[in-house]
Structure 1
Amino acid sequence: MTVVTVGVHIVDILTRPVDHIPPGQDTVLVDQIRLTAAGAAAGTAVDLAKLGNQVTSLGAIGDDELGDFLLMVMTRHGVDVSHVRRRPGEQTAASILPIRPDGGRPSFHVPGANLTVTPADVDPDILRTAKAIHLGGVDVTFGLADPAFFALLDTLRANGTIITMDLLSEMPDLLSMAKSFLPHVDYVLPNESQALLMTGAPTLQKAAEALLSEGPKGVLITMGDQGSLIFTTGQSPSEAPNQSTQTPPPEPAATMNPDDQPTKPRTEAATTDGHLTQTREAAATGGHSAKPPAEAAATDGHPTETRAEAATADGQPVQPLAEAATANGQLGEPRTEAATADGLAVRTPGGETVQPLAGEVVPALKTEVSDTTGCGDAYCAGFITGLLHGQDVLTAARWGTAAAARVATGLGSDAGITDLPSTLALLTNPTPPTNPTPPTNPTPPTNPTPPTNPTPQSAGQLRPADQPQPFS
C-alpha cells in the first residue's frame, strides 16, 4: 500500500531514566541514549513502513548534520525521503527528551525548518500516487493552509484517496488555524486536550460534534489509558470504508517479537496522549502530548473513574460509550445512555443533518511501558494501515491501539514495532505472561541438623558481632 506523509520531521534525542537535572556541571549516569526519526510525519512514516506499507515522506529539514541523520535513519527503515526539501541556513527540528523512570517525557524543542513548509514543497504528482495521505502536524506546518492545496486534497478525496490529519501542539492559536484543514480530510485524530482546545467545547462529545460539522467523516479522539473515542457520520464505525477490494490482514505471529531495546518490566499505562498513569495495571494506546505524566488526571486535576470496558481475548468486542462527560471534557461517572442519544445531531457544511452521532470506545491494551514518545504517531500508522487493508473504522482503530502499545515498550518513537503480524498479535494475546510456570513437584527444602555440641569459642576467635557482615 502506498502512503504519503506530509508535514513535521523531527530528530529526537532521548535518554532514560532521568529523575532530576543535576546542578552545576555534575554528571548523571543513565541506562540508554538514542537518536530517532520523529514527528507527526517522519515518525508516522517509519511506523507505516514497519507495518508493511510503501511510504514516501514530504516536508522540510535543515541542511545540517541533524538533517543528514534524519534522512539516513528514515531510509534505513524503508521510507522514500528523496523529495524532502533541505533548507540552507535553517536547523532541522529537534527535541531533547529526558524520559522519567515512569515513562513520562518532558521536552525541549526547536521547531526549525518545519515552520517553513509550504505547498511548493509538496509535489502533486507524488500525492496522486498515494492510496492514503497523512497530514502530520498541520498546526505547525500552517504554511500548507493554502486554497490551491485544499483544492488538490478535495480532488484526491473525490478519486478515493484516504486523507488523515494529526496534530502536534496544544497551543490554541495554532490549533484554531488547523481547523481550516477539516473540510478537506476524511479522518482527524486529536488527543482529548487538542479536541477541546481546538473547538472550545465543554465535553469530548461536543468537541467531536463540532469537528465533524466541519466536514471530516470520522473523528478519533485518543484518551490516554482510557483508550480512544470514535465518532463517525453517515455510517456505523463498524462498517468498512468503501473500497473496491479488501485485503485480508496477515496472520498474527504466535509470539511477540521482543523489542531490541532492553527495558525493565513495568505495567503502567502508556496513555493515548502520552501521559502515564500511576496505577500498576494499565493499558497503552497512542499519544502525542508532551505534558508530564499524571494519574489519569482530568484537566481539573482529579483522577477520572476507571472504565468498565475491557478488551476480550481476541481484542474485538467494543462497548458503546457509557460514561458521562464532565464539564472539563473528561469521562466521569457511569451512565446508561449511549453516545448516540438524541441531541448529538451533526450539521455538515452542506447543510445536511446526520442523526445520530455514533460514538464508541476502543479500549486500551495492557503493556510493559518504557517510554510513551511516539505512541500517537504509531496509533495513526496502525489506523491508516487498517483502513488500507479494508478494515472498518473500529477495527482499524484497534490496529492503531496495538501499534501504539508496541511503541510504548521501547525508547523512542521507532521502538517496539517490528512488523504487522507481531503487532496484531497483541489483539489476541494482549498480556504476555510475566511469571514462569512453577515446577509441578517442587522438592521441599530440608532443614540442616543443628550441631549438638558446638565448639566453645577459643581466645582470638571472632565473636558473632565481630564477624564481617555483607553490604545491606
Structure 2
Amino acid sequence: MTQFDLSAVGFVVLDTLCAHADQMPPRGGATFVDQMTMTVAGTAGATALDCAMLGLSVRVATQMGRDPMGDWLVSAMEAAGIDCGLVSRNDAVQSPMSMLPIGPDGARRAFFVPGTSNTFTLDDAGIEAACDARIVHLGGTGLLAAFDGAPSLALLQRAKALGRTTVFDLILANDETVRLVEPLLPYIDYFVPSIEEARAMAGGGSPAEVAAWFKARGVKNALITLEGDGVWVDPAQGDAFHLPAHQIDVVDTTGCGDSFTAGVITGIAKGWDIRQTARFANTVAAHVASGLGSQGVLKDFDSTYAAMGAWPVKEI
C-alpha cells in the first residue's frame, strides 16, 4: 500500500508573469499591464500543484535554494496539501525563477534562472521514498543537470520494479535531448510531450509518426499535445486517435502542457480508460489557458469534470 497517489520528481520553478506585453519597456521607463501574478510552475511543480487541486494526495521531490523564492514555493505547495518532505534546500544556489511577459495571443517569452534545477538529485533512499506512490511522474529532463542520466534511469527502473505507473515529461527538448531520454523510454507508461519537443527528438514527422517512433522504443502510451489543436493519443492497446481542444479565449499558454499531464495523472488515478483520461486532460489544460499562470482558472475536480461535457470543443 503506497502513501501517496502521486510523487512528482524534478523541475519546480517560481514563475512571475504579466499580461499582456509584447515588447520591452522603454529604457528607464515602464510598461503598464493589466495583471501580474506568481505561481508554482515547472514540469514537476505545476503538475503536482494541479493534481493536488484536483484532489490527489501528492508528494514533491526537488531542490530549492534557501531563499525567499524557495520559501514561497514550499509554502504554496504545502498550503495545497502537498508533502514537501523530499524538498531539499541548497545554501549556495538560488531557487529556479522565471519572468514571463505574456503576449496578447497568450504566447510567452522567458527570462530564466535554472538555479537548483541544476543541483537537484536523489540518493538511493530518496529514490525509494519518491516511489512511495501509485504514480511516479518525472518532469524536467533536459534541465536537471545532476539528475538527468543515471539517477533518472534508476528512479524509473525502481518505480517499475515496485509496480508503479510511470509518467514522463521533459522541457526545452532539442535534437540532443534524445540521448538523455532514449534509455528511459522502456520504463515509461505515459509519455506526454508537446509536438515540438517530440519532433525535435524524433527527427520530425506527423503526430502519428512521432508517437510511433517513441512507442517503437518502449513507451507504452504516447500522448502528444498539439497546442491549440488538442492531443494525438497512441495507446498501449487499441487504435490511435485525435481529440480536439476546447474552444476558449486563450489568456496565457504557460503551464498548459504541465496541466494536461496533471489531467492524465488524475485519470490514471481514477482508473479511467485512455480516451476519458485524455478528454479530461484537455479540459484541465483549457482551464489553465483561460487565466494567467500555471493554474489559470483551475479550481477543483468537480467543476473541471463538469466543464468537460459543457465546454465546446473545436471542430476537427
CA deviation after TM superposition for structure 1 residue 122, in Å: 6.8
Matches of 1:95 and 1:152, distance apart in 2: 27
- Listed one character per residue, the Cα deviations across residues 440-467 of structure 1 (whole Å, up to 9, x for unaligned) are xxxxxxxxxxxxxxxxxxxxxxxxxxxx
Q: 1:13 aligns with which of 16, 27, 40?
A: 16
Q: Which of 80, 83, 90 in structure 1 is aligned with 2:83?
A: 80
User: Offset at 1:78?
Assistant: 1.6
**Worse-matched range after superposition: 114-123 or 10-19:** 114-123
Q: Which has the higher helix share?
A: 2
Query: Which residue number corresponds to residue 390 of structure 1?
Result: 271
Distance 1:28 1:153, change over 3 A: closer
Partner of 1:32: 35
- Which residue pairs with 1:136 in the alignment? 139
Q: Could you say what secondary structure the match of 1:144 adopts?
A: coil
Distance 1:121 1:82 in 2: 15
Q: Could you say which residue in structure 1 is the equivalent of 2:128?
A: 125
Q: In structure 2, which of residues 291, 311, 316 is the aligned counterpart of residue 410 of structure 1?
A: 291
1:369 aligned partner: 250
Unaligned runs of 5+ in 2: none
Code of the aligned partner of 2:294: S
Q: Do the aligned partners of 2:131 and 2:158 also contact (CA within 8 Å) in 1? A: no
The offset of 1:179, in angstroms, is: 2.3
| Cα distance in 2 between the residues matched to 1:104 and 1:145 | 28
Q: Given the superposition, is the C-alpha separation of residues 20 and 145 from structure 1 closer, same or farther in structure 2, using an over 3 Å criterion?
A: closer
Q: Distance in 1 between matches of 2:15 and 2:158?
A: 35
Size of the aligned set, in residue pairs, is: 310
Shift of 1:117: 2.1
Q: Is the 8 A contact 1:366 1:430 kept in 2?
A: yes
Q: CA deviation at 1:142?
A: 4.5
Amino acid at match of 2:293: G
Matched to 2:63, the amino acid is A
| Aligned residue runs from structure 1 range 242-321, under 5 A | none
Q: Structure 1 residues 364, 148: CA separation in 2 closer, same or farther (over 3 Å shift)? A: closer
CA drift at 1:15:
0.7
Instruction: Check conservation: 2:54, 2:301, Cα contact below 8 A.
Output: yes
3-state DSSP class of the match of 2:240? strand
Q: Secondary structure at the match of 1:57?
A: strand
Q: In structure 2, do the counterparts of structure 1 residues 124 and 12 end up closer, same or farther at CA, with 3 Å as the change threshold?
A: same
1:110 is aligned to 2:105 = no
Change beyond 3 A, Cα 1:56–1:72: same
Amino acid at match of 1:196: R
Residue 2 (1) aligns with residue 19 (2)? no
RMSD: 1.9
* Mapped pair 1:167 → 2:48: no
Is the CA contact (8 Å cut-off) linking 2:5 and 2:269 kept in structure 1?
A: no
Aligned partners of 1:65, 1:127: CA distance in 2, in Å? 25
**Partners of 2:255 and 2:95 in 1: how far apart?**
18
Q: Distance in 1 between matches of 2:145 and 2:183?
A: 10
Q: 1:35 to 1:147 in 2, by over 3 A?
A: closer
- The 8 Å contact of residues 63 and 90 in structure 2, kept in 1 or not, is answered as yes
SS in 1 for 2:146: helix
Q: Structure 1 length as normaliser, TM-score?
A: 0.63
Question: Which of the residues 120, 134, 157 maps onto 1:154?
Answer: 157
Establish whether residue 196 from structure 1 lines up as the match of residue 199 from structure 2. Answer: yes
**Alpha-carbon separation, structure 2, partners of 1:196 and 1:152:** 25
Residues 142, 173 of structure 2: 8 Å contact kept? no
Superposition map of 1:425-464 within 5 A: 425-431=306-312
* Residues 275-303 of structure 1 deviation map (CA, whole Å, 9 limit, x = unaligned): xxxxxxxxxxxxxxxxxxxxxxxxxxxxx
**SS of equivalent residue, structure 1 residue 21:** coil
CA distance in 1, matches of 2:213, 2:293: 33
What's 2:26 paired with? Answer: 23
Quick check: 1:5–1:55 contact (8 Å CA) kept in 2? yes
**Shift in alpha-carbon separation, 1:24–1:150, aligned structure 2, 3 A:** closer
CA distance in 2 between counterparts of 1:160 and 1:4 reads 14
Change (3 A) 1:202 1:431: closer
Q: For structure 1, list consecutive stretches of 5 or more residues without a partner in the other structure.
A: 237-357, 433-472
Give, as a single letter, the amino acid of the residue that structure 1 aligns with 2:215. Answer: L
Partner Cα separation in structure 2 for residue 148 and residue 380 of structure 1? 22
Q: 1 CA distance for matches of 2:96 and 2:64? A: 7
1:178-227 superposed Cα distances (whole Å, 9 cap, x missing partner): 22221221111111111111121433322222211221211110011211
CA 1:431–1:231: 2 relative to 1, 3 Å: closer
Match of residue 231 from structure 2: 228
Equivalent residue of 1:415, what SS? coil
Computing the radius of gyration over CA atoms, which structure comes out larger, 1 or 2? 1
Are the structure 2 counterparts of residues 19 and 144 from structure 1 closer, same or farther at C-alpha, using a change threshold of 3 Å?
A: closer
1:108 shift after superposition: 1.1
User: Which SS does the other structure have where 2:275 is aligned?
Assistant: helix
1: CA distance, partners of 2:249 / 2:124: 39
